[in-house]
Amino acid sequence: MTRKLFGTDGIRGTANIEPMTPETALKVAIAVGECFKNGAHKHLVVIGKDTRLSGYMLEPALTAGFVTMGMDVVLVGPLPTPAIAMLTRSLRADLGVVLSASHNPYSDNGIKLFGRDGYKLSDDIEKKIEAALAKGPSRRASPSELGRVKRLDDAGGRYIEFVKQSFPRGLRLDGLRIVVDCAHGAAYKVAPTVFWELGAEVFSLGVSPDGLNINRECGALMPEQMRREVLARRADIGVALDGDADRLIVADERGTILDGDQLMALIATGLSRSGRLAGGALVATVMSNLGLERYLADRQIGLHRTAVGDRYVVERMRSAGCNLGGEPSGHIILAEYATTGDGLIAALQVLASIVETGRPASEVCRLFLPVPQYAQSVRYGEVMPLNHPTVQCAITDGEARLGVTGRLVIRRSGTEPVIRVMAEGEDEELVVSVVEGICGVIRAAMAAGNDIPRAAE
């Protein structure tokens, strides 16, 4: 059985359109309750969300579904995704749920599920949930067995202290000027507080959520506002988070944008130097730059590549015994502290390097020259155009043009109906030409309509 509802990062879609409706959220919660049922054990579920307006619609529906299956629910309100993973473990809950579509616009929302260990549920468990969803519950709780609901008022404070404990003992951020862009998202309260309590002078952006402005022209996907603020404030560094704060992008004091690859190189180097890089390797996806791969190889640091998605990075980290992994998008997982990507914890590791060396971010954070890389996305409809013969020919031709010194990665997104085409190589013009050529063929194939073979189920 293949997963149809779950993608690479839970369930995601447009709010109030299937599957992101209260009806489906209710049914998902009931299906989860059916799968997690364990005799007389009273299950506990932690539910958090970001700042999207649709969270107020989906949260009650999920809560009702869990309660009807006899599960107790703790509501924590808007908090970063990694905070829910942490609280699930801290409260000894059986399940953590996050209502968020991460970096997507406010019109989208999603449901992410964490197990009692703080890790995202496996593909096998998600398949069981989908099967239970199709079948319906075998029983519901009796009136006396219904779950109870309460709010955890100090959830934000717990997470703030948890994050601060990841900063090296004896270090402070005193004297540092930090711009933090919270994308009007889940970290709008906790992120500025973390940096301020560690001693920094903080300039906050994206801290006025209205339910509709999350990720709008701000945050990790659009860091230009943060970059400009760094220059205007003469700050030492800028940090841009996404809507659920599980990823970050940094700008140095000169306004140069640094992606996850550069930050992973910095953190991996520091861990390796101190003998704390477990497994002697970094785990990254197929999207990480060849420049990172070459930089690590020069320093005898290994690199394991995975499919795109932080869940696959975490799976490889656990199987390979590694404690560092991530993606160029800024998802960075530090297994010593967290079970999922955490933008604040990753930012503190970068800041620790700046404090320890006493050097500016421009000297500390940019460790390698990226190989020219270019990417485009093409949205598709009901059929998968990658199966079209002309598209396959274009891909083969592109690989041949890039040669042995280049790379071509073409994949179907696991979070939205788009095909992502990425190429890299020494010749930037060639890289752009290959990507645009393949995207053009894909669009032409879609225009052909009926000639496209349907994707295999």
Whether residue 203 contacts residue 229, with contact meaning beta carbons closer than 8 Å, is answered with: yes
Residue 143 CA to residue 70 CA, distance in Å, equals: 9
Residue 369 CA to residue 381 CA, distance in Å, equals: 38
Active site residue 272: no
**Active-site residue, selected from the candidate residues 54, 100, 102, 204:** 102
* Token reading at 240: 């841009």
Q: How many CB atoms lie within 10 A of CB 138?
A: 8
Q: Measured between alpha carbons, how far is residue 6 from residues 18, 24, 126, 250, 440 in Å?
A: 13, 13, 7, 31, 29
Residue 221 CA to residue 74 CA, distance in Å, equals: 31
Whether residue 430 contacts residue 402, with contact meaning beta carbons closer than 8 Å, is answered with: yes
Q: How many CB atoms lie within 10 A of CB 213?
A: 18
Residue 345 CA to residue 267 CA, distance in Å, equals: 11
State the catalytic residues.
102
